[in-house]
Amino acid sequence: MPSTETDNFNYHSFNNYNNLNRNINNTKNNKFAKLEMDYQCLQEDYKELSKNYKKDIKKIADINEARLKSLQEIIANKTEECESINAQLKNYKKKYNTDYLEWKQTKTRLENELKKNQYSLALEYENEYNEKLDVLQEELKSKTEEINSKEEKILYFNKMLARK
């Protein structure tokens, strides 16, 4: 132990310094150890979270891949349906155009036949009218001759009666 006061002070100071250094070192070591432990825990948490996120991302990617395939199949089906409908539409358009041309030709033919029939009917009506007119004129002529003949007879008989 120190014998003098200065030595005593130096001894206590040195001890205090050593204790302080030890305490500081212990505190540093404890803090470092705690930080090291915290770092390890954080690293394990990070690995666990990373693993979970990777699983979730994989699940999401798989789900998206399945949805994408499903949508691609739907699009393929819809594309086939559209192509089928377009083909049907083309067929309907062709049929419509064919039917329209046929209708137009038929209409023109029927209109011409109608005009021809109207003309024929008019001629037939005129011929029948003329024939009936001729028959009536013949009858009129015949009746007129008959009347004239009877008038002549009447005049003859009147002359005969007047002579008597």
- Residues 6+ away with beta carbon under 8 Å from 8: 1, 2
DSSP run (H or E) holding 1: none
Contact (CB, 8 A) for 52 and 60? no
Distance CA 31, CA 38 (A): 10
Residue 13 carries which DSSP code? Answer: H
Rounded-to-integer distance, Cα 164 and Cα 161, Å = 5
Residues 2, 11 contacting (CB under 8 angstroms): yes
In a domain, residue 157? The reply is no
Structure tokens at 48: 């666990």
| 2 close to 8: Cβ distance less than 8 angstroms | yes
Number of domain units in the chain: 1
In a domain, 145, yes or no: no
pLDDT for 8 equals 47
Residue 120 belongs to a domain: yes
Residue 14 lies in a domain: yes
What's the CA dihedral at 8, 9, 14, 18 to 10 degrees? 100
Write down the pLDDT at residue 1. Answer: 47
| 146, part of any domain | no
How far apart CA 96 and CA 74 sit, in angstroms, is 32
Q: Which residues of the chain have pLDDT under 70?
A: 1-29, 164
Type of residue at 142:
S
Full residue range of the structural domain in which residue 118 is found: 1-132
Phi, psi of 74 (to 5 degrees): -60, -45
Residue 97 forms part of a structural domain: yes
160 domain residue, yes or no: no
| pLDDT given for residue 16 in this prediction | 62
State residue 22's pLDDT score. 67
Identify whether 82 is part of a domain. Answer: yes
